[in-house]
Structure 1
């Protein structure tokens, strides 16, 4: 059979009668969904704005004025005088900087390697490893203020556990671990390391679980022993975890406050920048401009490791 023009009729196939693909319609958000999303996004943003960003901006503004904190009419702009005073004429500032650097070095050289060692030992599938992990992680769940109180009981001069173990409790030879300015910074560092090493342990345990086992097998086939496999294969493979831990260690050393404030309010050999901020913002003889300047300095220094970490993370994302 042919058409009126004489050309044959093309056979009808299943492909010819196939229905066009259906595209799933994007479901529009209802009014209720919009309200829920607005609350979920708006409330955290509002909390962040009120508790973080607005105080930060106010602190930056207050660092350029002289004010007694009572009447707004007493606010007097002084430019960078507060910063000049902090760097040149404020006696506790540079000792506090030295203590923060010491805090960083101690956590970096003692606390972080201790956490790595614990992670490596607990990754060996030893019996009761979960129990040990919980024991070492307990200090992380406690606030630094509570840790300071716990270590006060350990370091007390007359009834402390350490002097009791040394046999000097109740004698003139007893050491006032938190009262003696020659040793109290080291006692506080041990207390901070107790918590920091547990945190590092958990992070490294997660990193060790994420290392490809085939890397270890390949190293073993090449004749590498346990230490060579770890330092040349496993540890470099945990590069992202190492960066996170370095940033956390720096931030921990900068924001250290609770332990020293519980001990002696950051005085008598335990000066830290964070403690100086509180000393100038509250209490007698408060100097709000100086305290705000110290807070801004601490903020700027803290932004350095955070910016480094974010640049590395987003740099890798763009590379992909």
Structure 2
């Protein structure tokens, strides 16, 4: 009897049309909220990123002193020709940017990865070590510059005190004033901060790594070095791409440390950088907005040339 009722109810249910839930229409208030949530960040992004970038490209073909729009005059490619042929500071700045980038790739980045790999082993006081190493990232670059500026003081700085070169009548080592030493001194400060950045990025990637892969490699007889280079490092390819992009950007946009440690204008001999030249020409007393914009476009092109091919290659590998 019960089976008959069940069959009957099933047939009735099967004969009933399936009611679809009506989609809730957005009210005017919902549209307003969504518009504000999307529109405000979009407007800020366009105003602070895209508009200055497009304006820089346009102004790079002009000769403008930054005062009044009526003083903008077309200059064609003359600003770019001046950068490559007539500016004595341009090529030293390019060389220093390349040296900055190579230094970050060669020393702080591998060292940060090494520290992350060691701290991922859950050693004692690992939280304390993470905090101590990550401390430079908590404070601003300007503060880092002031700390190292005091460290490098020729008369009472810690480094000269340890070396004994700040005694009366002794030979002073002017770490930030000597063109043969100042770039190396600033790079040490930049490497100190960059190591902390890479360490925390790679440590976050290692936290998501499957530990069974290491165990399988150990069972197969692989030692720790082989496990890292053949298993761990290739498996963290997305993190490696992020680290490479961050390192390239840090090397090309270097500004704060040099500006603080190099003096008021950051234009000491030996510390020339493209970012410093851009700042001094656009917002400095020279009033060469067109030339500074041309330098900014050159820096943008160099950044894209370095980053885009590597990203495209990695994305193609992932798709395959």
Q: TM-score, normalised by structure 2?
A: 0.91
- The answer to whether the aligner puts 1:84 opposite 2:81 as a matched pair is yes
**Partners of 1:291 and 1:122 in 2: how far apart?**
44
Q: CA deviation at 1:73?
A: 2.5
Q: For 1:271, what is the secondary structure of its paired residue?
A: coil
Contact 1:256 1:274 in 2 (8 A): yes
Q: CA deviation at 1:215?
A: 0.9
Q: Find the partner of 2:222 among 221, 224, 230.
A: 224
Residue-pair matches, total: 309
Counterpart in the other structure of 1:16: 11
Q: For 1:270, what is the secondary structure of its paired residue?
A: coil
Quick one: structure 1 residues 309 and 134, their matched pair in 2 at CA, closer, same or farther if it must change by over 3 Å? Answer: farther
**Partners of 1:170 and 1:278 in 2: how far apart?**
38
**Partners of 1:64 and 1:143 in 2: how far apart?**
35
Q: CA deviation at 1:312?
A: 5.7
Counterpart in the other structure of 1:26: 23
The runs of 5 or more residues in structure 1 that have no matched partner are 1-10
Q: CA deviation at 1:310?
A: 5.4
Q: For 2:114, what is the secondary structure of its paired residue?
A: helix
Contact 1:159 1:170 in 2 (8 A): no
Encode CA deviations 1:143-192: one digit per residue, 9 max, x unaligned.
21221111101111111111111122244322111111101000100100
Counterpart in the other structure of 1:282: 283
Q: Find the partner of 1:126 among 114, 123, 127.
A: 123
Moved more, 76-85 or 209-218: 209-218
- The answer to whether the aligner puts 1:62 opposite 2:31 as a matched pair is no
**Partners of 2:224 and 2:41 in 1: how far apart?**
47
**Partners of 1:310 and 1:231 in 2: how far apart?**
21
If you compute each CA radius of gyration, which structure gives the higher value, 1 or 2? 1
Q: For 1:285, what is the secondary structure of its paired residue?
A: coil
Contact 1:204 1:241 in 2 (8 A): yes
Counterpart in the other structure of 2:302: 301
**Partners of 2:141 and 2:154 in 1: how far apart?**
21
Which aligned segments of 4 or more residues in structure 1 are displaced greater than 6 angstroms? none
**Partners of 2:258 and 2:121 in 1: how far apart?**
36
The runs of 5 or more residues in structure 2 that have no matched partner are 1-5
Q: CA deviation at 1:226?
A: 1.2
Moved more, 37-46 or 161-170: 161-170
Q: TM-score, normalised by structure 1?
A: 0.91
**Partners of 2:42 and 2:314 in 1: how far apart?**
23
Counterpart in the other structure of 2:3: none
Q: Find the partner of 1:260 among 245, 248, 258.
A: 258
Contact 2:258 2:271 in 1 (8 A): yes
Counterpart in the other structure of 1:7: none
Counterpart in the other structure of 1:39: 36
Q: For 1:87, what is the secondary structure of its paired residue?
A: helix
**Partners of 1:31 and 1:314 in 2: how far apart?**
41
**Partners of 1:22 and 1:194 in 2: how far apart?**
64
Q: For 1:241, what is the secondary structure of its paired residue?
A: helix
Moved more, 49-58 or 93-102: 49-58
**Partners of 2:272 and 2:50 in 1: how far apart?**
27
Contact 1:244 1:309 in 2 (8 A): no
**Partners of 1:14 and 1:305 in 2: how far apart?**
69
Quick one: structure 1 residues 22 and 138, their matched pair in 2 at CA, closer, same or farther if it must change by over 3 Å? Answer: farther
CA RMSD of aligned residues (A): 1.9
Counterpart in the other structure of 2:242: 244
Q: Find the partner of 1:199 among 192, 197, 200.
A: 197
Contact 2:136 2:193 in 1 (8 A): yes
